[in-house]
A and B are shown apart, each in its own frame.
Chain A
Amino acid sequence: MTQSEMKHCWQLARENGDYSAVIVAIPYARTIGMQMAEQAGELRFTLPFAQSNVGNVLLPALHGGVIGGFLETAAVLTLLTSAETNAIPKVVDFSIDYLRSGRPVDLYGRCEIVRQGKRVANVLMTAWQDDLAKPVASARAHFLLS
């Protein structure tokens, strides 16, 4: 996909509030099956439960790496929505705390842009299942924007 195709993809998504084409454009996001939508003025991310995201078959539980990848993608998409540029932000560092095991049900995610400068952004991410007050993981990351 070229830069202009990506740009077009975003324009459509912003206009219609349908971000499925954006997810389809990112192979990894498609692989784990994540979704995004606007809800009460903020972006809400969903990772519907899929057997292919399981990392522990005994518990069973989602793979910690999938939870990390989901949140990292959510942060990138949140930045892309807020930024004027359509270049994909580059992750510099990513730190995640695993608070509970990810049970075999849908996982939700939201992001907070703590600071967005010209060149770098700091983003906080939270993932939860049934109860936002009982997060499965919280993460923070820095991204290069240019």
Chain B
Amino acid sequence: MAVRNPAFFDQLQRWFMTLPHCQVLGLEYVEADAGSVLLRLPYSEAIVGNPETGVVHGGAVTTLIDTASGTCIYTLFDAPESVATLDLRIDYLRPATAGVAVLCRAECYRLTSQIAFTRAVAYQDEREIAHGVGTFMRTQVGAA
């Protein structure tokens, strides 16, 4: 099923990818559907956490999962509104392989009038490296 409001989502997704910290990490948008999104974190020296092994830092994976989880909620909105992360829990299943991009598929599996519930998987090729679950608060634009 397609994204609810393609014009809004497309604009928003482009805007997300140009946010300063997303640019620093080089986050890329890959695809979206109603309730789900796929983002890509390219490998770069700047995000290495372990200088001995060259493995990507958990913090960069946290940002990837946070951004993907937040973004997927917008695929379900008919009209522009915004969300804020309430909490995020990440399980690091295995170390990432150095030199390889990390992909993240996030889905919003329940949307209520106030809260969005998300789950996400970060992986390299077929290997899952992290799982994330999050909750987000919906905020009407202009309400604050």
Give the interface of A toward B (CB within 8 A). Answer: 1-3, 6, 25-32, 51-57, 62-66, 68-70, 72-73, 88, 90-98, 101
Q: Please, which residue of chain A has its CB at the minimum distance from the CB of B18?
A: A57
Determine whether B60 belongs to the interface, using a CB cutoff of 8 Å to chain A.
yes
Q: How far is the CA of A97 from the CA of B63 in the complex (A)?
A: 14
A64 touches B88 (CB 8 A): yes
Residues of B within 8 A of A54 (CB): 19-21
How far apart are B15's CB and chain A's nearest CB, in angstroms? 8
> Is B91 interfacial (CB 8 A cutoff)?
yes
- Tell whether B86 is near chain A: CB-to-CB under 8 Å: yes
- Interface pair A51/B52, CB less than 8 Å apart: no
In the complex, are the beta carbons of B59 and A68 less than 8 A apart? yes
The answer to whether B59 and A73 have CB atoms under 8 Å apart is: yes
Per the bound structure, the CA–CA distance linking A97 and B49 in Å amounts to 23
Contacts A66-B21, A68-B59, A91-B58 hold; do A28 and B49 have CB atoms under 8 A apart? yes
Min Cβ gap B133→A in Å is: 9
- Given contacts A26-B57, A65-B65, A96-B88, 6 further A-B pairs with CB under 8 A are A29-B57, A55-B21, A64-B63, A68-B66, A88-B49, A97-B86
B49 touching A65 by the CB < 8 A rule? no
A56 to B52, CA, bound (A): 33
Q: CA–CA, A98 to B87, complex, Å?
A: 6
Nearest A-chain residue to B64, judged by Cβ: A65
* Nearest chain B residue, comparing its CB with the CB of A98: B85
